[in-house]
Structure 1
Amino acid sequence: MRKMCWISTPIWQWRRRFSDEETGGDEVDETDEVDGMVACEVQSGHNEWCIVCRDGSSDHEFLNNLPVLPTFLPIRSALEVSLQSQISSTPVILIHLTLVDFETSGGPFDLMFRFLSPYFPCGGIAFHELIFDVGSKLKSNGYQVKFLDIILTPWQPLIKSAKDSYLWFLSCGALINNEESFSSLQTAVLHHHITATICFNAICFQPTFAAPLLLAFAELVLTECLPIREVFPDMLMQSYKLGRHTDVFLLMTNAGCALDITRFAWTHCKERPWGHHLPLQCPQCGWANSWHSANHKKTYSFECMNSKCRKGYFFSPPEDSVILSHARKSGSCWIAVGVKANLLVLG
């Protein structure tokens, strides 16, 4: 089982926002022609940053009673990030929790660290890898009882002092598919005040498939400081191949100190109708790629084309599912499905 824990600690941020104070303040109310000059009357809230329509209330440089610059400064570039984004230099700590003897030549976590490093030329990013030894039955028994508490408790002071903390589980789906394990996960997330937890339900999860999702997370959440709840559909839009492999679960603590859980599933009208797996081979007759499909009122039906078989499937949209318009791609999309959390409230 391979785990990832992201913890970011804020010190200061340089905000990249387009505000009234940066662009000159309030609008001009009216203009009057006076001796061939344009005199601008502005609202009382006008600020000192405007270099064209100044009200003369501050000590500014003028030439012959005219502003130094005859017109506004032209903006010649285009917007390359969202107006809500920031360029953050908040220090980031990446903590990689892995099992003993789990050797790889690389992975999405290492790729993420290399992606973020150029944003911190003077330091401010740290990478730590911790090895857990559960190689014997005696050791594994201890971890099975309170595994999450064991790995998270040493970092509790750091988590509490951080503005946001993110926990990624690049592990097999037993954590989600097993009811007891999933319940323990929810309890630990609330108890340790984790901002957001991301995990997967594939039986044999392949971490490499999560690389685009992690890179999008680093760019949109860690670098541009956008809320993960709002940009998660944009993150998934770059990860449709991940959807062929697994569903994605997002666990977040809400304002009422309870847990909101959302399952994101990739859907394709012929490959994964409404997020369900359609067998490549008919289990009844053995024909491969033999499905004839139809769609009626959002319900997909599939029937084996073998005239001696006629095995069929029906797939309807999950209850209360929402199609993510940001994450559509040529006949496929992501859907969000609410998952009922345990009746837990953070005390």
Structure 2
Amino acid sequence: MILILHFVCTGLNTRGGIPRLLNAALEEYYTEATLWYLEVIFDFGTRCKLRHWQAEAQRLASTIGEDTFQQKIFFISIHSEVTRGDLFVGKDEGGDDVAVLPKEFMDYLFAGCLRPLVSRATLFMLSCGPVVTFPQSICSFKEVLLELRPAYTIAFGATHFIGAVIKSFIVAFGSRVVIQGHDLGEVFTDLLNVSVELPMHTDAYLFQFEEQMASDMPNPLSSAVHIKGMHYSWYHTHHRPWGCPLPMSCPKCGSIHSWSPSKQGEDSSGAPGRISTCQSPACGFQMFSYQPRSYQVIKVKVGEGMGWIKQAGI
């Protein structure tokens, strides 16, 4: 059995959304009895609304029943606060938006008997990038993932994330991971390569829950758990050197699309990177893109100056 559970923050329009696309892609392979799709709108911006949601979460858990699912895919469609990365939980008494740290949000969302269902699930965060770009936010996010224990969590780093760009990605996920049974961590780069629009729009983040037996502990049954975070950014030697997008226009002369092919170089302190030069006459302005400290280059094709830069330790 497959469970697709979509949590939607109040006020968001989900017409033609990514979770429904995944459900449609899987309907040809499963029956109504073996493929469940549930969509729930949440709003717990006040104490009264929170109590109502806690009761609603219990009813939802009762509807789902015993956890006998082969695959559990959870989507969270939500806004994130642009200056801190907090996640919106709904509206307060005055109709204003309320945002909290990711851990507090997840504790509220997965209330009561919903909480155990997150274990071993695949979680998609359909939100803008601040949740994974601010240190306090990402630490809070990883803290709650360690408690909830989803097998994998996927997030995206675009400041203004557009869900439509991952349509090909999500259909490929349904085919390779859900139907064929491949491990998400092993095919993640393949899924990223399927989409033409995704690489130029957003970075991708993959968080994996890992549990290892701790042989040095007195109790042989003890285990050590942690969240392994990986950051994938698309690079192109001309347009996105070291995964850093060049501005459309030169900051000095305003010329459009005037950048030269980047060249290896160093800044004034000796730090390695790539230099892109404005080719507009009499300008010569240079942009410096710094080389990541620890990374793995995953090329799309051997010899081509583009691919993915994978950074661990996020």
TM-score (normalised: structure 2) = 0.72
Which stretches of structure 1, 4 residues or longer, exceed 6 Å deviation after superposition?
none
Shift of 1:158: 2.5
CA distance, structure 2, for counterparts of residue 93 and residue 335 of structure 1: 32
Matched residues, number: 247
Assess if the C-alpha contact under 8 Å between 1:328 and 1:334 holds in 2: no
Is it true that 1:187 corresponds to 2:97 in the alignment? no
Instruction: Write out per-residue CA displacement over residues 72-128 of structure 1, whole angstroms, 9 at most, x where no aligned residue.
Output: xxxxxxxxxxxxxxxxxxx11111111222124312211110001111136211111
Assess if the C-alpha contact under 8 Å between 1:97 and 1:129 holds in 2: yes
CA distance, structure 2, for counterparts of residue 132 and residue 195 of structure 1: 24
Identity level (%): 26
- The amino acid that maps onto 2:248 is L
Greater relative contact order (Cα 8 A, min sep 6): structure 1 or 2?
Answer: 1
Secondary structure of the 2:207 match is: strand
Report the equivalent of 1:125. Answer: 35
Secondary structure of the 2:307 match is: strand
Secondary structure of the 1:293 match is: coil
Q: 1:247 to 1:121 in 2, by over 3 A?
A: same
Is it true that 1:228 corresponds to 2:184 in the alignment? yes
Instruction: Write out per-residue CA displacement over residues 182-210 of structure 1, whole angstroms, 9 at most, x where no aligned residue.
Output: 11110111101111100011111001111
CA distance, structure 1, for counterparts of residue 168 and residue 281 of structure 2: 43
RMSD of the TM alignment (CA)? 2.4
Instruction: Write out per-residue CA displacement over residues 252-302 of structure 1, whole angstroms, 9 at most, x where no aligned residue.
Output: 122341111100011112111111010110011111112223423794321
Assess if the C-alpha contact under 8 Å between 1:100 and 1:131 holds in 2: yes
- The amino acid that maps onto 2:129 is G
CA distance, structure 2, for counterparts of residue 151 and residue 186 of structure 1: 16
Assess if the C-alpha contact under 8 Å between 1:152 and 1:192 holds in 2: no
Instruction: Write out per-residue CA displacement over residues 121-161 of structure 1, whole angstroms, 9 at most, x where no aligned residue.
Output: 3621111111122123678547557111111234223234x
Name structure 1 gaps, 5 residues minimum: 1-90, 341-347
Is it true that 1:281 corresponds to 2:238 in the alignment? no
Alignment of 1:124-203 (within 5 A): 124-133=34-43, 134-136=90-92, 140-141=97-98, 143-144=100-101, 146-154=104-112, 155-160=114-119, 164-203=120-159
Report the equivalent of 1:304. Answer: 278
Q: Which has the larger radius of gyration?
A: 1
Aligned counterpart for 2:308 among listed residues 334, 338, 341:
334
Name structure 2 gaps, 5 residues minimum: 44-89, 212-223, 266-271
Aligned counterpart for 2:263 among listed residues 295, 298, 302:
295
Assess if the C-alpha contact under 8 Å between 1:303 and 1:311 holds in 2: yes
CA distance, structure 2, for counterparts of residue 169 and residue 305 of structure 1: 40
- The amino acid that maps onto 2:7 is L
Report the equivalent of 2:74. Answer: none
Report the equivalent of 2:225. Answer: 257
- The amino acid that maps onto 1:196 is Y
CA distance, structure 2, for counterparts of residue 151 and residue 253 of structure 1: 20
Assess if the C-alpha contact under 8 Å between 2:237 and 2:262 holds in 1: no
